[in-house]
Amino acid sequence: MLERPILIAIDGPAGAGKSATAREVAVRLGLPYLDTGAMYRAVALLACREGLGPDLDERGRAAVVEIAAFLELSFSGDPRAQRVVVRGSDVTEALRAPEVSQMASMVSAIPEVRREMVRRQREIATRTGGVVEGRDIGTVVFPDAVLKVFLTAEPEVRARRRFEELTKRGARVRWDDVLSEQGERDRRDSTRSASPLRPAQGAVIIDSSRLSLAQVVDAVVALLSRTP
């Protein structure tokens, strides 16, 4: 009888360190890594390229739903250097642009978009297992994951990480704007009707505010070792 693939769900707000943690846990355990946020960002990127803004009207929402339905996306490379390819083009860097982040928060609140992305996420990870990170992995996508983690951090800490990430890539951003935009994104993610951001039942909450990446990874791996 074949064993069920190992699935680890890591959820949490923007800037909590989900992506870095999930990548390192995947490498440590030799598991695949799935960044579900990149899928929503890909939809957002294409929406931006079609001239759609964050204030979506009915026609704009319909256009976003169509983009999601016909999204051509694939991942390549190992977890630490994973690349995202959309319609044959590498868009890994483009997905992290501030306007794409803002748009991703909007499109991810559309129920039809979430249903399509969840379908794809289940299709990928159910087959291979792995470390899956996002905002509704433990609550909606894989509520039966062998380990569910809700990774969080203080708002100022998360905003500082985002600010440093953007400036390191050469983006010209203001600290106050980054902090304000993150607060707005937190509000939208936690109050949306479709899969609001919250810890899953049975999830272990880890606050990374004063922990190094290595310490967070060690904590997640230790939790898995204690899981029946």
Model confidence at 73: pLDDT above 50? yes
Interval 139-159 mean pLDDT? 95
Considering the segment(s) 7-225 as one domain, its CATH architecture is: 3-Layer(aba) Sandwich (3.40)
- Model confidence over 82-123: pLDDT tens digits? 999 999 999 999 998 989 988 998 899 899 999 999 999 999
Closest CA to 223 of 5, 4, 10, 43: 10
> Dihedral of the CA atoms 197, 34, 125, 203 (nearest 10)?
-40
pLDDT at 91: 97
DSSP string, 48-116: HHTT--SS--HHHHHHHHHHHHT--EEEES-GGG-EEEETTEE-TTGGGSHHHHHHHHHHTT-HHHHHH
* 21 CB-near residues (< 8 Å, 6+ apart): 10, 133, 151, 208, 213, 216, 217, 220
Model confidence at 2: pLDDT above 60? no
- Model confidence over 113-132: pLDDT tens digits? 999 999 999 999 988 899 99
pLDDT at 1: 40
Contact of 42 with 95, CB cutoff 8 Å? yes
Interval 172-194 mean pLDDT? 87
